[in-house]
Amino acid sequence: MKTSVVFMVLGGDRRMRACADGLRSLGYPVCDLPSPNFDTFTSQIKGTNVLILPIPALSGECINGTSLQVQQVLSAVPPATAVFAGVIPTDLKMRIVDYNLDEAFQQAGAIATAEGAISILIQELPITLHGATALIIGNGRIGKALSERLTALGMKVTVSARKEQDWQDIAEKNLRTDHTGVYNHGLDYHCIINTVPAPVLSKVQLALVPKSCLLLDLASRPGGLDWQACEELELRAIHALALPGKTSPNSSGLAIRDTVLDLLNLR
């Protein structure tokens, strides 16, 4: 057993349980506390070298998945204990290392999100993906992972972006390009998938979307859709948040483990 480093995994969803199990599989001692009270946490943290918090780290002022306030937790953590979390507020970056900033971790998350989105499309669309039309809004990591996989499944994919460099990248992949916010090719698709965490479709534009179209928003809150307009127009719209934790928690948990170990130079 690798006893030189002791880990604590706190809160979160199934990803964090997979992270803890993954650390144990490598021989590390792990204290796994999905939802402890403060007394339990303070008694266990004293012998811990590394504390791993969830992604996203917070729900309000508490550690995600627990009732423990983040300032309360940090005040009890020994100064020598390294603290890692995903998606942390700016005011906590002096004390917590954000593993979500790691490029390899973000790429793994993009793949997991793309695969989760595909599972939703298969469940929600009454047609095969092969031959169906899709508009992907955004050409970031998730947009790229999604366009690659949907194209491989035989979908007719259009990708919208705002920058010339992105349009060139999309065109080089033999995909149809469009301008986000303008949509020169219209909005008549079987599905429209947003990856941009900013408004991308106005109410006027949503009125042009066919009722049969599935709108899937993968962006973090509040997303990129006008949700009130979607309801008023009776459009099918799904805000699919935290897909890695829902559709591939084991792989995503191991990605957290591997990223933290890399950041600690333990791999």
pLDDT tens per residue across all 267 residues of the chain: 566 899 999 988 899 999 999 999 999 999 988 778 899 999 999 989 999 999 999 999 999 999 999 999 999 999 999 999 999 999 998 899 999 999 999 999 999 999 999 999 999 999 999 999 999 999 999 999 999 999 999 999 999 999 999 999 999 999 999 999 999 999 999 999 999 999 999 999 999 999 999 999 999 989 999 999 999 999 999 999 999 999 999 999 999 999 999 999 987
| Strand ranges (E), the chain | 7-10, 30-33, 50-52, 58-59, 62-63, 82-85, 97-98, 133-137, 156-161, 176-179, 191-194, 214-217, 236-239
- Predicted confidence at residue 32, as pLDDT, reads 86
As a whole number of Å, the CA-based R_g of the chain is 21
Residue 1 has a pLDDT of: 54
pTM metric for this prediction: 0.92
C-alpha 143/C-alpha 155 separation (Å) is 14
C-alpha separations of 21 from 27, 62, 64, 160 in Å: 10, 24, 19, 40
Token pair of 137 as six digits: 């809004």
Give me the phi and psi of 144, to 5 degrees please.
-65, -45
Q: pLDDT at position 112, please?
A: 97
- Which residue reads 């031959």 in tokens? 131
Cβ 193 vs Cβ 125: under 8 Å: no
pLDDT reported for residue 84: 98
Give the pLDDT score at 141. 97
Q: What is the pLDDT of residue 36?
A: 83
Nearest-CA neighbor of 98 among 110, 109, 88? Answer: 88
pLDDT (0 to 100) of residue 159: 98
Amino acid at 260: V
Say which residues have a Cβ less than 8 Å from residue 171's Cβ, sequence separation at least 6. Answer: 177
- Residues 214/240, Cβ–Cβ less than 8 Å: no
Per the rule left: phi > 0, alpha: psi between -120 and 50, beta: everything else, 128 is beta
Q: What is the pLDDT of residue 145?
A: 98
Instruction: Report the alpha-carbon distance of residue 79 to residue 232 in Å, rounded.
Output: 53
